[in-house]
Amino acid sequence: MYRYDPIDQRLVDERVAQFRDQTRRFLAGELSGDDYLPLRLQNGLYIQKHAPMLRVAIPYGMLASRQVRMLAHIAREHDRGYGHFSTRQNIQFNWPKLEEVPDILAKLATVQMHAIQTSGNCVRNVTTDQFAGVAADELVDPLVWAELIRQWSTFHPEFAFLPRKFKIAISGAVVDRAATQVHDIGIQALENEAGETGFRILVGGGLGRTPAIGHVIRPFLPWRHLLTYLDAILRVYNRHGRRDNKYKARIKILVKDRTPAAFAEEVERVWADLADGPGTVPQEEVDRIAAQFTRPTYRRLAARSPTLEAARDADPAFARWLGRCVSEHRQPGYAAVTLTLKQTGVPPGDVTAEQLDAIADLADEYGFGDLRVTHEQNLVLADVELDRLHVLWQALKPLGLATPNLGLLTNIIACPGGDFCALANAVSIPVAKAIGERFDDLDYLHDIGELDLNISGCINACGHHHVGHIGILGVDKAGEEWYQVTIGGTQGNSAAIGRIIGPSFARAEIPDVIVRLLDAYVGLRADADERFVDVVQRVGIAPFKEAVYAHAD
């Protein structure tokens, strides 16, 4: 967890004061709605279908227990008793009163939280691997760099009014858990042969209307050049990104129009004047940020835990949960535990105030007081002793946080959809619910194996449907809600965009469509270990299309 110094704190407090005055002016009629709009977006405040929605930043997904308790308080006092974790490691409150938002932000500031630049045409929350700092396959810990980027982006005076939103993700492990290939800038931290830390820089990835995989424009950027290089990319985008058409305004369009090679050249040209200039990162700053992070004081433990193994052998349900929700840790005797917020019948990513308070206690008891949010709308206790996993599991179950479906079909990623969002064409939460209810047989789910199912209520793709093994997209057909199905998308190291299988479906048909896709998969797979998405990549979509559409009428 990064500890604020007095300057970090002061900046957040000053931002609250600034926004409080902007809100006062708006409510007093001194600031028009049009003028207030970009200002409130840069403080995370949307005016939504039913009520304002406030998106609170969780920088690179890290939370401390005291912050979780404050989120519980806000859910309770200023909202309808719950919050929603988004697909970019933020939390959203759907029902705050506009005039209370400055007070909410002031409360958040007391625990070093804010809603700075969580919306608007600016650099948004930098996201990372939920296992940053603990993953067994980690090459470079991305947390220090994520914090460095956070500071660089916060109130960056040149890039507050970009053509469109700007999203950066950073990963430091062999397996990319941060979806860097589908971000405006994706940063992959690595070491070169000389052992120097540097970054592979990708630009122009993204989901939404025109999904794209990012292009590598710099295979290895030495670490000290990170911020000046980001300045160069953003400057090219700020000056040349399209501003005439909101749907063609992301950097991916510019990269495509210029071609990646020409775009890279332009960045290098701009960067040539910035390199080694004032934004160059000194070693002292890297060391300072690293020192500002609290790290768990791990105990010296054995790599294996007989306690754990005995419990696992005795309890199949526990064994199942272990297999799905517990991940390897670089420190012997520890594991990273995913708390799934994917209970059937509950909107994916939603959490009640009571759950938040309980989670804060669990973080204190089992996790050195820290917690992470994943971009798949789950939570992680990153540093749990193996010996204590069984006890933790027993505590998680009554809270509804132990559904052993991580990586399985019912670990659905879904946007809030038409029930909440003014942009949506269709509802998404009821679709998730229907699928969850239809596939509530855990044995079947385990047999099907790894399956990412993502639902977006509209083309903006906040549910990341493009990179779902199965993706569902709400579309508006003649004023009614219909759903388009894609298959074969993947995030991670070889990201791919899913392909549409055919004409769209009515909502009631979707569970049956999924059944037919899965039946086809079971029939086509080489063995039980071949994943759904691998079969799609092997045989193409035609057999699946046929299975879905050729059913007897």
Which residues of the shown chain bind another protein in the complex (CB under 8 A)?
3-11, 14-15, 18, 22, 35, 38-39, 66, 110-112, 121, 151-152, 154-162, 227, 235, 238-239, 243, 273, 277-279, 281-282, 284-285, 288, 291-292
For residue 244, what are the contacts with CB-CB under 8 A and spacing of at least 6?
A: none
Distance CA 457, CA 348 (A): 13
> Are 472 and 397 spatial neighbours (Cβ–Cβ below 8 Å)?
no
Minimum CB separation from another protein for residue 54, in Å? 20
Minimum CB separation from another protein for residue 351, in Å? 21
**Choice between 150 and 466, CB closer to another protein:** 150
Minimum CB separation from another protein for residue 27, in Å? 16
CA distances from residue 217 to 159, 241, 252 in whole angstroms, order as listed: 21, 17, 13
Minimum CB separation from another protein for residue 84, in Å? 24
Minimum CB separation from another protein for residue 421, in Å? 22
Minimum CB separation from another protein for residue 228, in Å? 9
**Choice between 85 and 152, CB closer to another protein:** 152
**Choice between 69 and 324, CB closer to another protein:** 69
Report the 3 state secondary structure along 426-480.
Answer: CCCHHHHHHHHHHCCCHHHHHHHCCCCEEEECCCCCCCCHHHCCEEEEEEEECCE
- Joined together, the tokens standing for residue 14 give 């000053």
Minimum CB separation from another protein for residue 124, in Å? 15
Residue 3 CB burial class (10 angstroms; 0-12, 13-18, ≥19): exposed
**Choice between 240 and 256, CB closer to another protein:** 240
Distance CA 174, CA 402 (A): 27
> Are 142 and 162 spatial neighbours (Cβ–Cβ below 8 Å)?
no
Positive/negative CA dihedral, 451, 455, 461, 463: negative
**Choice between 69 and 525, CB closer to another protein:** 69
**Choice between 278 and 398, CB closer to another protein:** 278
Minimum CB separation from another protein for residue 357, in Å? 16
Minimum CB separation from another protein for residue 47, in Å? 17
Minimum CB separation from another protein for residue 150, in Å? 9
**Choice between 230 and 495, CB closer to another protein:** 230
Task: For residue 12, give the H/E element and its range.
Answer: helix 6-27
Report the 3 state secondary structure along 483-547.
Answer: EEEEECCECCCCCECCEECCCCEEHHHHHHHHHHHHHHHHHHCCCCCCCHHHHHHHHCCHHHHHH
**How far does Cα 237 stand from its chain's mean position?**
23
In single-letter form, the type of residue at position 373 comes to V
**Choice between 232 and 501, CB closer to another protein:** 232
**Choice between 153 and 425, CB closer to another protein:** 153
Question: DSSP states of 234-292 as a string?
Answer: HHHHHHHS--S-GGG-SHHHHHHHH-HHHHHHHHHHHHHTTTTSTTPPPHHHHHHHHHH
Distance CA 153, CA 135 (A): 26
**Choice between 111 and 353, CB closer to another protein:** 111
